[in-house]
Amino acid sequence: MIKNIPGFLKLSAVFDLFEELAMLVLTLCIMVVAALGLVHVLYAVFEMVLTATFSPTNPAALQSLFGLFFTVLIALEFKHSILVSPDTPSHSMVRMRSVLLIGMMATVRKFIVLDLTGVDVMEVLALSTAILALGIVYWLVRGNNKITS
């Protein structure tokens, strides 16, 4: 029915072209952010090894390092969510699951870099509730097919 509207197919083609261009620009920007984040991680690890300040038993060093790792992983997962092929069936559901995973990763990153000396109980409760809610929603929308890498 909607295809009978005059000019709909041309407008749809223009929007598809715009969507492809937007995904390309966003992908390039995320690649730059991920590459800079990776360089920062490599520099931090290299500096820790050279100055002999890296100790696997030092929680502050591990928190800092894992926070950097998660930042790069979140950027890569975000890029992956943009590059989902529009030809795959139910691509909007795949993108929604990917966004939920990004939200869970960001919340877990917050837990990792959280300074426990000045933490408020309500903040931990809020973060726990957020990760639980994201997990429940992800479980509800995952369906029978899972995200393939």
Note the pLDDT of residue 35. 92
- Average pLDDT of the residues in 92-100: 75
Q: Could you read off the pLDDT of 81-90 as tens digits, one per residue? A: 777 655 555 5
Please give the DSSP secondary-structure letter assigned to residue 83: T
**Is the Cβ–Cβ distance between 63 and 113 less than 8 Å?**
yes
Q: How sure is the predictor about 149, in pLDDT bands with cuts at 50, 70 and 90?
A: very low
List Cβ neighbours of 61 (8 Å cut-off, separation of 6 or more): 48, 53, 54, 55
Which residue has 């995904």 as its token pair?
A: 23
Note the pLDDT of residue 91. 57
Short-list 62, 60, 17, 69, CA closest to 41: 69
Q: Could you read off the pLDDT of 2-37 as tens digits, one per residue? A: 666 776 677 778 888 888 888 888 889 888 998 999
What's the gap between Cα 25 and its chain centre? 17
